Structure 1
Amino acid sequence: MAPSGMRLLLPLLWLSVLAPGRPAAEMPGRNATDLELQQRQHLEAFRALLLSKLKTPSPEEEPTIPEPDDVDHSTREQNEEGLELLPRYFRKEVTRVPMLDSNHEIYKKYKDCGHSVYMLFNMSELRQAVPEPVLLSRAELRMQVLKLQQEQHVELYQKDSSDSWQYIKSRNLAPSDTDEWLSIVVTRVVRTWLSRGEETEGFRLSTHCSCDSTDDVLQVDINGISSGRRGNHAAAHSMNRPFLLLVATPLERALQLNGAWHH
């Protein structure tokens, strides 16, 4: 297991790389050559740590890519919208991965009930967008909630390796006369998925009490999901079906940081 200090060292090196250097004229006793050497050493140290970490991916040991507050307070809102965060030589890429079509045969293995809907994802598509967990900066599950007649408390679960369901978080959804987008941050969950070798992973959205009682009916309609209680009239092929929004640093771009600095 890597020492805990490595998890603290990587963000510090990241910030030292991105922090602009002071002009040589403002630093007595140092010339341009000294500054260039120091910058090169910082870059090489960062690159070595990144490569070392990629060779031993472990969910518990992954260094966290800094949130916007660690880099620039002015980029906070941009990060939440999935926009580019860092300077031109270290920009991130945004990828949209839709859930598997709700008519896919894989959904047949899950109980057809009125208190839950399921959103499953092809992991090969996620790995194509983010080949290593350490490169993932942010992941959001987004779904379009159709007009809601009454308030409802819902809970989100993730499918674990034993094919059971683990609670993530809950939300209170207010009534609305218009369709609304619901966004839930699931970065840690997706990082865990990327470190496993499963072919499919997924979420379950349920009522607060997901039992067999007929009173616990999910009143929420999600665009693109054909729930059992609604028949097959939902827009299963809609472009607005639930999807994962992934914000990640391309591996090749991270490894080319040293060359980009000199340009």
Structure 2
Amino acid sequence: MAQNLNGGREDGLPPSSYDILYEDNHLLGIVKPFNIPVQEDATGDADLLTLLKEDVKRRYDKPGNVFMGLVHRLDRPVGGAMIFAKTSKAASRLSESVRSRSFRKGYLTVVHGRLPASSGRLRNILLKNAKTNTVTVVREGTPGGKEAVLDYSVLGFAEGLSLVKIDLLTGRSHQIRVQLAHAGCPLYGDQKYGAAVNKPGQQIALWSSLVGFPHPITKQDVELISMPPRQYPWDLWAAELQERALR
């Protein structure tokens, strides 16, 4: 089900929209549109968290402020499945799921070149520079460095590009983008960590395809699945191949 985020804007721009993957009294699972910040940033652009609050307030005719808890993040250019908490209790319990690693995050991405094996694990120490909003791979023991771990599986290769499934085991800033670039396979369209092989204006090919967690109230397992848009370079591979990889 698609919803308008802000039902028309005073500046004349078209309303943003999103698809609802899951909703109950405690949670709101949606497909994040790409190129929108999750929360307010220095650009002052409309952010997803604020727009969702406004949308829920309007849809349910709620008086006063609406609570919307941010449990995990996606980089601004990245789209796909996200879960938000509609109550403070749900937010607290979901945050605990993230800490205990019972919160699962799966991605699909398209990268330049071939990874060293058809599947494997990447482990690096990452250091973030807050001033430049960039992350680099550093030696173990570097002050401020944090461990980053992901598992990958290569699903296909075409036109010099690889379709890769990522299971994220830690949640570091820019983690997938930095680790794959360090492995010699920068993401398609990533201007920050792959400028040498990408062209300005290309959309980064990174999609949050699976978010799984125990429901904070019922404890039942919840899975949100979202597929990338059928446009280049995603359409180099059959949608069925991408869908099967997530099951």
TM-score, length-scaled by structure 2: 0.25
- Higher radius of gyration, 1 or 2: 1
TM-score, length-scaled by structure 1: 0.24
More helix by share: 1
More strand by share: 2
